[in-house]
Structure 1
Amino acid sequence: MARAGQADGAEPEPYDAGPFVPAGGDLRALREAAAGCRGCPLHRAAGQTVFGSGDASARVVLLGEQPGDQEDRQGRPFVGPAGGVLMRAVDEAGIDPALTYVTNAVKHFKFEPSPRGKRRIHKAPNLREISACKPWLAAELRLVGPEVVVTLGATAGKALFGSSFRVAEKRGAALPMPPVDGQESPGTALVATIHPSAVLRADDAGRAAAYAGLVSDLKVAARLLT
């Protein structure tokens, strides 16, 4: 029986963005190529590819999960409420936002429609989708060559460490950067923390503590900058 969106007798859609990643291209070339990525089925429902944003000389890569509704509409990462929380926390931690490159582990918005109305409800990407998109992340990290990578939330951590990653076990410490698609990143450290959307989801009593924890973890990243 064919899966939804797959015609009878058709080949299953691949889960590998690798063939779409141009060899030797700069960030602009990657961004242009990513607009046509068909490396997993998520491209079918999403409005557009949301590639990373920032300069190739950035010292810090901020790695989130996937674009949200606003990011999908505008084509840029972290432009919604969570992005506002993140940039405020980055600045408060002592990291110049201009020295950051912001991207996501998955470049297309995964969602399910609301039972009522036109609202699109965020749905976390699965490990197969995360793995399919990893060639884009590996190419970004190769070109930027950051001193520090900050993973924001569980999906970002799993993209680098695998399915066993748990934010609570790893957050707030300087960790060695694992290979990405077999690519080593000597000289790059990693700091794990919560996704800024967790601050927004916290109740009134816990929101201040969640935000303070995010800032505290980002201060660890700030101290690693030489």
Structure 2
Amino acid sequence: MAKDGNNGAARFLPDHLDLDSLREASAGCQGCDLYRNASRTVFGEGPARARFMLVGEQPGDQEDRKGAPFVGPAGRILDRGLEEAGIDRDDVYVTNAVKHFSFVQRGKRRIHQKPTAAEVEACQPWLTAELAVVEPDVVVVLGATAARSLLGAAFRVTRQRGEPVPLGDALAVATIHPSAVLRAPDRDAAYAGFLADLRVAAGTVKRAA
């Protein structure tokens, strides 16, 4: 349960589910304590009927400041991968499993802190609503936190990445988070694996078409 002892984000959902209503309602979300220190809610962005939905962990420092997902260094890796995989950025909806920036303050710097399982659970109603509205063909799951939210705690990205698995009416393809490419000792090898997984996602949509 969230620290506030409520039912997470569910009580903040609007009566009518569309992306504009969800985005507006999410701005006032207090479903867990992360809202207290974050600058703002960072909701998803993209077309309402995107064929691809990409789900990351949480906003980073730049995303929190700018109010948009994947606008920092990891976003540049993601954009490069999508282009090289042949995925049209205009056919992609991007979001995160957790909508507020979780961090620890060290001097003037805000250092990313992995969200807790309770925080992921508290934020899940937003992600569930986004999936229901967008109805993507393929969900690209970026990293372990997104995998936990969408595919359960038993799913392991390291073992099951690049393998299409059912997710409701869609298929999910898991891969590492693009920030993991930036942290990798061998960035070229990490990026090559990331790109290979994105190409699986692209091919999954083509086969379904």
Structures share a fold, TM > 0.5? yes
1:209 aligned to which of 189, 197, 200: 189
Structure 1 distance, partners of 2:155, 2:163, is: 14
The residue that corresponds to 2:148 in the other structure is 158
The residue that corresponds to 1:20 in the other structure is 12
Deviations 1:98-138 (A, max 9, x none): 10000000000000011xx3100000001110010010001
The residue that corresponds to 1:199 in the other structure is 181
Structure 2 distance, partners of 1:87, 1:121, is: 23
Q: Does residue 68 in structure 1 map to residue 60 in structure 2?
A: yes
Counterpart residue identity of residue 31, structure 1: R
- What's the secondary structure of 1:62's corresponding residue? strand
- Tell me if structure 2 keeps the 8 A contact 1:15–1:40: no
Q: Compared with structure 1, are the counterparts of its residues 97 and 137 closer, same or farther at alpha carbon in structure 2 (3 Å cutoff)?
A: same
Q: Does residue 137 in structure 1 map to residue 127 in structure 2?
A: yes
**TM-score normalized by structure 1?**
0.88
Q: Does residue 222 in structure 1 map to residue 206 in structure 2?
A: no
- What's the secondary structure of 2:111's corresponding residue? strand
The number of residue pairs the alignment matches comes to: 204
Deviations 1:156-215 (A, max 9, x none): 0000122222111110111111xxxxxxx32x1000000000110012xx1001001001
Deviations 1:66-99 (A, max 9, x none): 0000000000000000000001101101111110
Counterpart residue identity of residue 191, structure 1: V
Could you say which structure has the higher helix fraction? Answer: 2
1:149 aligned to which of 120, 129, 139: 139
**TM-score normalized by structure 2?**
0.95
Structure 1 distance, partners of 2:79, 2:198, is: 11
Structure 2 distance, partners of 1:155, 1:43, is: 18
The residue that corresponds to 1:79 in the other structure is 71
Counterpart residue identity of residue 216, structure 1: A
The residue that corresponds to 2:30 in the other structure is 38
Structure 1 distance, partners of 2:127, 2:15, is: 14
- What's the secondary structure of 1:150's corresponding residue? strand
Structure 2 distance, partners of 1:209, 1:215, is: 10
The residue that corresponds to 2:112 in the other structure is 122
- What's the secondary structure of 1:136's corresponding residue? helix
CA displacement at 1:15 relative to structure 2: 4.9
- Tell me if structure 2 keeps the 8 A contact 1:148–1:189: yes
Q: What 5-or-longer segments of structure 2 have no aligned partner?
A: none
Counterpart residue identity of residue 127, structure 2: L
Structure 2 distance, partners of 1:42, 1:19, is: 16
